[in-house]
Amino acid sequence: MEYVALFPNLLLGVHRDHCYGIILVPDGPNRTIEHVEIYYAQDAATKSAFADMRAANTTMWRDIFIEDVFVVEGMQKGRHSGQYDGGKFSAVMDAPTHHFHRWVATALSG
């Protein structure tokens, strides 16, 4: 399994027999819409004989993704707290965040 985040809003999950893509679409300051697509490695997996397996796989991923919603919502609530000091960046782990911030700042400054 590999999980990749591609700047600025694409998340990929790569597995042995399938992969998924999630496109994050901002819909205001407090809302994001996720568009999820699942792709299969072999054409045979898209045939009617595997419809039940695809449905089970979709349900499994939906359940897993739903588990993450409260975590992300909680993080966002915490960031709106008066006690939040802006957090600490890691030079190793947060390079994509710094890149995104520079990209937004450049776009907004004209």
Q: pTM of the predicted model, to two decimals?
A: 0.73
pLDDT reported for residue 93: 81
Confidence (pLDDT) at 98: 83
pLDDT tens digits, one per residue of 7-48: 779 999 999 999 999 999 999 888 899 999 999 999 999 999
pLDDT mean over 62-73 = 92
Q: Cα(94)–Cα(106) distance, rounded to whole angstroms?
A: 18
Rounded Cα–Cα distance for residues 89 and 102 (Å): 14
Domain ranges of the chain: 2-82
Strands (E), the chain: 2-6, 10-14, 18-26, 32-40
Helices (H), 1-50: none
Which of the pair, 100 or 13, is modelled with greater confidence?
13
Under a CB-based contact definition with an 8 Å cutoff, are residues 4 and 21 in contact? no
Contact of 20 with 13, CB cutoff 8 Å: yes
